[in-house]
Amino acid sequence: MYLNGLMMKNLLLFTALIAALSGSAQRIHGYAKAKISGQEAFQLNDSTEVFAERTERGFTVRKRVWVANSSLSKGVIMPGSALFNERGETIGQTLGADVPLSGAQPSTERKLRKHQVGTIEGEVRATHLQSGSWPEEALADLLNAKRSRPFWEDAEVFFRDFGFTELEATELPEALAEGGYKAFLLLRRDASNQANPRFRIIVVTRGESAIQSIVLEGGPLELPKFKLTESASFGTVMHAQKPTPAYKEALEELAYRNIPLTSN
């Protein structure tokens, strides 16, 4: 019994680590110069959010960017070109290597009509990503922490810092809306050139008192106080309390609503 419990704990630690090493809310240091084939390719402003995936030598980072048409040649961004976000703000620049703009499409943003939007990709070291910017790790810390003040004070900071969106009651399945639940959504941004990417994390709370359930695109987190963990086709569902059938069905519906037909 003890051995099985220890093995399960180690498995949860491993899957939590894997989940934390892939996502869209990581922030990059301004000194980091992403490389392509060993050549310095682009540099982003300090604390810019990126999508990061673990590799044998570090991390592959991706970022959805807007680039002026005049800076492109056959789908490649020329060295020394400015990189913009959807608001037309400069968030970085390309360096010496040619940088492909993957999935490039004409921009529909009013300020960026003479631009293309797509994703760029490069390799960085682990130290180039800011510590504490992995939302899965931060969520586990939030839920496992000993409280010295109301839970919601810390929860609001977490949701704000990691870019979660609170869904309106009209956006929730009926069973969740009528039950007084709140839902917070973190999208898998920057992984591809999709304007509406799939979810990365969904957090459902009982009003402003506590977290009831978590839906993860990856594996489970180590949350000793949570009563039930289930695998699903869209990821992992973790419940603080045993859910009713109607609640479970509503939560699955919410997850599927936030997976586009062409998911990244």
Give the pLDDT confidence of 156-210 residue by residue, as tens digits: 999 998 889 999 999 999 999 999 999 999 988 777 767 678 899 999 999 999 9
Label residue 116 by pLDDT band (50, 70, 90). Answer: very high
Q: Nearest 10 degrees: CA dihedral of 130, 132, 137, 142?
A: -160
Tell me how far apart the alpha carbons of residues 189 and 207 are, in angstroms, rounded to a whole number: 27
- On whether the CB atoms of residues 92 and 120 are closer than 8 A, the answer is no
Model pLDDT for residues 236-262, shown as the tens digit of each residue: 999 999 999 999 999 999 999 999 876
Please state the rounded mean pLDDT for residues 146-159.
91
